[in-house]
Amino acid sequence: MLAKGATSTDCLQRLHRALNRHHIHVLDTDGPLDLGPAAVVGNVGWYDYSLAPQGYTVEDYLRCNPYKAPLPALQRCEKNPTAGCPPRWRRDCIYTRLPMTHQDYARHNAQKLDKWLTETTKPAIVLLHHVPRHELLASPEDFDAAYAGSTLLGETIRRHRDKILAVAYGHLHAGSRKRIHVIDGIPYINTYPAYTHPPTLAAIEVDAEKETVELHVEWLTRK
């Protein structure tokens, strides 16, 4: 839980300082990571309801549920689930406290991604937590799609597609349309480890001496 008066971005900055003390590079705050012949660029992303299905209002998403349940009811359901709790609800509304709107935070992260991709002159691997395109969603009609990510991320990637090797994302668990979906020549890779159609291993191999970057995809059989 967040401390009184603290925001989620305050927590991110504290985490950033703690990880930096251990020489860990945080893409969301430190910017691109130089791998020699390539760079890794990315951030958390966030959502702005641009992937939302039709038929719901912004107020539904701000309440984290389409059942008109107020946030205090969701908080009670989090502590003590009962039969009267809404069948669908989102924890982000309870545990995330931003100093701006969700739409503004999604725009902020897309602008950071655009800045870093503009500045890097190297082939880039983009890492995101949230989903950048609606084509990646297995069930775009579900209420949950609104929280999957933002089309602003996809627009940013499209502007820089000539220098992007691959895009890796999470958040959907196994809910992607495909494990690896190639769009405009760019592989979009769902990094969720327990993907079941079938399990896949995708790796980026960077050879600093030869100055080469290769994308490897291996199809594995789960035993």
Q: Are the CB atoms for 46 and 102 separated by under 8 Å? A: yes
* Among candidate residues 155, 101, 159, 106, the one with its CA nearest the CA of residue 133: 155
Task: Give the pLDDT confidence of 89-122 residue by residue, as tens digits.
Answer: 777 788 888 999 999 999 999 999 999 999 999 9
Q: Is 1's pLDDT higher than 50? A: no
E-strand ranges in 9-61 read 33-34, 39-43
Q: Is 220's pLDDT higher than 80? A: no
Task: Give the pLDDT confidence of 179-212 residue by residue, as tens digits.
Answer: 888 999 998 988 876 544 454 555 666 555 565 6
Number of Cβ within 10 Å of residue 160's Cβ equals 18
Q: In angstroms, rounded to a whole number, what is the distance separating the alpha carbons of residues 115 and 86?
A: 41
- Res 96: pLDDT: 86
Task: Give the pLDDT confidence of 23-37 residue by residue, as tens digits.
Answer: 888 898 899 999 888
Domains located in the chain, CATH noted: 8-52+98-219 (3.30.750.180)
- Res 3: pLDDT: 58
Q: In angstroms, rounded to a whole number, what is the distance separating the alpha carbons of residues 211 and 36?
A: 7
First to last CA, the chain: 39
Task: Give the pLDDT confidence of 134-144 residue by residue, as tens digits.
Answer: 999 999 999 99
* Whole-model pTM over 0.75: yes
Cα angle for residues 187, 188, 192 (degrees, 5° grid): 130
Task: Give the pLDDT confidence of 47-72 residue by residue, as tens digits.
Answer: 999 999 988 998 999 888 888 888 88
Based on the number of CB atoms within 10 Å of its own CB, is 82 exposed (0-12), middle (13-18) or buried (19 or more)? exposed
Cross-strand partners of 40: 33, 125
Q: Is 222's pLDDT higher than 50? A: no
E-strand ranges in the chain read 33-34, 39-43, 124-128, 164-169, 180-183, 186-190, 200-207, 212-219
